[in-house]
Amino acid sequence: MAKTHKTMRGRVVNMDTLRIKNEKEIALGNMNVNAGGDLLGPGGKIIKTRSERVRDANAIHTMVPGKVPVSKTKDDVIRKTAVEQATQQATAEAEAILDVADEQVEEASTPQGGLAAELAAKTKSE
């Protein structure tokens, strides 16, 4: 379906054939492209075709989710939240148990009585 326009002087201009005929001409502006949308380098050489540029742009802006699982129902969200809370609670309890164990290890490694206790007390005070 050719788009034809009538000029003020009555001439008929087919815009599609005009566009196709001038597709390789350098376009006006500062984008360094030709009329067909190809990226041009120095001397007007084609660096990337229009189809390559479109393919690259579509690869960046994809609607496909990454490696993050998608929650589909309310039950999935509730389960996920419960697992996160349980993990945080278990981590806090584990840290408390480790703190108690560290205190017990310090008490057990501290010398009791005699010359060793005196030397340990002097080292701590210094």
Q: How far apart are CA 109 and CA 69, in angstroms?
A: 49
With 90 as the cut, is the pLDDT of residue 41 above it?
yes
Quote the pLDDT of residue 33: 92
Q: How far apart are CA 28 and CA 106, in angstroms?
A: 79
pLDDT digits (tens, 9 = 90+) for 43-94: 889 999 999 999 998 888 777 666 666 667 777 778 888 888 888 888 888 8
Q: What string of DSSP letters covers 28-75?
A: SSSS-BBTT--EE-GGG-EEE-HHHHHHHHHHHS--S--SSPPP-SHH
Contact yes or no for 38/50 (Cβ under 8 A): yes
Q: Does any domain span residue 45?
A: yes
Give 14's pLDDT tier (boundaries 50, 70, 90): very high
Quote the pLDDT of residue 104: 77
> Phi-psi bin for 36: left (phi > 0), alpha (psi -120 to 50), beta?
alpha
Q: Does any domain span residue 66?
A: no
Contact yes or no for 35/19 (Cβ under 8 A): yes
With 80 as the cut, is the pLDDT of residue 23 above it?
yes
Three-state secondary structure call for residue 126: coil
Q: Does any domain span residue 65?
A: no
Q: Does any domain span residue 48?
A: yes
Instruction: Say if residue 83 is in the same domain as residue 115.
Output: yes
CB atoms closer than 10 angstroms to residue 36: 15
With 70 as the cut, is the pLDDT of residue 118 above it?
yes
How many distinct structural domains can be found in the chain?
Answer: 2
Q: Does any domain span residue 69?
A: no
